[in-house]
Structure 1
Amino acid sequence: MSAVAQRAERADAQRNRQNVLETADRLFAERGAAVSLNEIATAAGVGAGTVYRHFPTKDALLATVLDQRLSQLGEYGERALAMADPGEAFRRYLRFIADQALANRAICEALAAREDWVEPAKASGQCVVDTPLSALLVRAQRAGVVRADLDTRDVRALLTACAAIAEDPARVQRLLGVMWDGIRAERNSEIRNETVRLPELRDETKRNCPVCGDPIPETATGRPAKYCSAACRQKAFREKRKTA
């Protein structure tokens, strides 16, 4: 085979591999890890042998897709860290992670199962999500944009809740807005930690003696008493006689 033919074959193999990866990425995100290699081959428009030639097992293909996604997350984190505005950089990174989690639930669940979110990668020694998240959080806190009592685990928990609750991008953005209002330093500085005193509620079921004003003891049975004691009852009877 000539050198030109070999180069053409290698280029064609690379295109097929990339096509399989992109198709697998989409199907894994839409349907989860239950998608078979044959289904991926059909959707990619290639033969099953082409898929197996590059990825002998589905686990190998899924691992390659996850590694590719991790690389994308890491690249976005680096771009966010290069932004001049600490608050805007932190806010954009939060939105990017939430959008990715919503659009690719199955892939994000697989990443979480591998613990690549929080465990350092072997190659770089850094966590692709938590490392930039922590750095961006500290920058925003030092700039006075985000409240100082938050840590990376707090923010990750809030992000996870937003992604888990939301069903569409619009709801994600609304929940992120609520979250942002809650973690902003300037917003929370206006909130005072004061105990609100509620007015005491009067118990309308309790009655006082019309003669002396003392509470009338409750009776377990029979008609409710009108007076607190026999002395008050006699005094009221005498007053009625005088009036008569």
Structure 2
Amino acid sequence: MPQRIQTPQASPKSAVQRAERVDAQRNRLKVLQTADRLFGERGTSVSLGEIATAAGVGAGTVYRHFPTKDALLATVLDHRLSQLSERGAEMMRRPDPERAFFEYMEYLTGQALANRAICEALASRGDWQEPSKLEGVCVVDTPLGILLQRAQRAGAVRSDLDPNDVRALLAGCVGMSQAIESPERARRLSRILWEGLRLERNFENRNESLEPSGLRNEIAVTERSCPVCGTPLPETATGRPAKYCSAACRQKAFREKRKTT
């Protein structure tokens, strides 16, 4: 008669060890999340003891996983780099070049404003401009350059910008947030700044600044000039002044009006 194969039972000791490993992993994640938040809010001068207290764990638990603050900060920065890399790769897969570029810029701005100390630490390590040891490419500059070039080829972004210019504007957003001390206002002004990079929007603003509607109407009434090109309007047989000097100017004004409606 065949013997029944018995499944070996886990010993109580191994079950305890697994529970300890799960608990240790949970504590490590809690320490990392707390450190990420405190480094972003208060800067990298936060001590390991403060992080342990905020995470609700003992100081020994922190030192067991991260013997020094530099080791903890390096792990936090590597985690941030991984997030930046994933978002950059996602944006480069987007089919719409214009939307991908501006969404990426808004994401980078949000990260910089919410975690200024962490972004400064990443910049000081050179991870924004030098190949990452984990990824082998620049996790910020590589997608930034590709997305900018795609948007410029699509005619959505000014052609006289390069990645260095955009990175300088990003740094300006961070400096602006320090000056006005209002994260919400900084985000609003940052969105206005990125909108200013749109090629079509720049042309519209330039036309409006050179020929504001109020000034065009005033010229048309006082000097009887064409509101499009400024040419003096000739007298008509009916005595009523013409609104435009030619059919071409009339069509141009009609097209401009359609753009704004």
Which category describes the TM-score, using the shorter chain as reference length?
Answer: 0.7 to 0.9
TM-score of the aligned structures, taking structure 1 as reference length: 0.75
Deviation digits for residues 40-85 of structure 1, max 9, x if unmatched?
Answer: 1111111111100000001100111111111111111111112221
8 Å contact from structure 1 (residues 98, 172) kept in 2: no
Tell me which residue corresponds to 1:125: 136
Tell me which residue corresponds to 1:6: 17
TM-score of the aligned structures, taking structure 2 as reference length: 0.70
Superposition map of 1:173-192 within 5 A = 173-190=187-204, 191=206
1:145 Cα deviation after fit: 0.5
Aligned in 2, Cα 1:121/1:189: closer, same or farther, shift over 3 Å?
same
Show structure 1 runs of 4+ deviating over 6 A: none
Q: Which has the higher helix share?
A: 2
Partner residue of 1:151 out of 142, 147, 162 = 162
Deviation digits for residues 153-177 of structure 1, max 9, x if unmatched?
Answer: 0111111101210233432333233
1:39 Cα deviation after fit: 1.1
8 Å contact from structure 2 (residues 106, 191) kept in 1: no
| Distance of 2:141 and 2:87 partners within structure 1 | 13
Tell me which residue corresponds to 2:108: 97
8 Å contact from structure 1 (residues 99, 169) kept in 2: no
State the SS of the aligned residue for 1:125.
coil
Tell me, yes or no, if structure 1 residue 63 matches structure 2 residue 69: no
Q: Report the count of equivalent residues.
A: 195
Task: List alignment gaps of at least 5 residues for structure 1.
Answer: 196-244
| Distance of 2:75 and 2:16 partners within structure 1 | 28
Tell me which residue corresponds to 1:164: 175
Letter in 1 for 2:198: R
Q: Which structure has the bigger radius of gyration? A: 1
Tell me, yes or no, if structure 1 residue 116 matches structure 2 residue 127: yes
| Distance of 2:134 and 2:39 partners within structure 1 | 25
8 Å contact from structure 1 (residues 146, 185) kept in 2: yes
Tell me, yes or no, if structure 1 residue 47 matches structure 2 residue 61: no
State the SS of the aligned residue for 2:160.
coil
Letter in 2 for 1:77: G
Identity of aligned residues (%): 65
| Distance of 1:164 and 1:55 partners within structure 2 | 32
Deviation digits for residues 9-65 of structure 1, max 9, x if unmatched?
Answer: 111110010011111111111111111111111111111111000000011001111
1:189 Cα deviation after fit: 4.0
Partner residue of 1:72 out of 83, 92, 105 = 83
Partner residue of 1:35 out of 33, 46, 49 = 46
| Distance of 1:38 and 1:180 partners within structure 2 | 40
| Distance of 2:78 and 2:105 partners within structure 1 | 21
8 Å contact from structure 1 (residues 37, 58) kept in 2: yes
| Distance of 1:105 and 1:173 partners within structure 2 | 13
| Distance of 1:163 and 1:139 partners within structure 2 | 25
State the SS of the aligned residue for 1:2.
helix
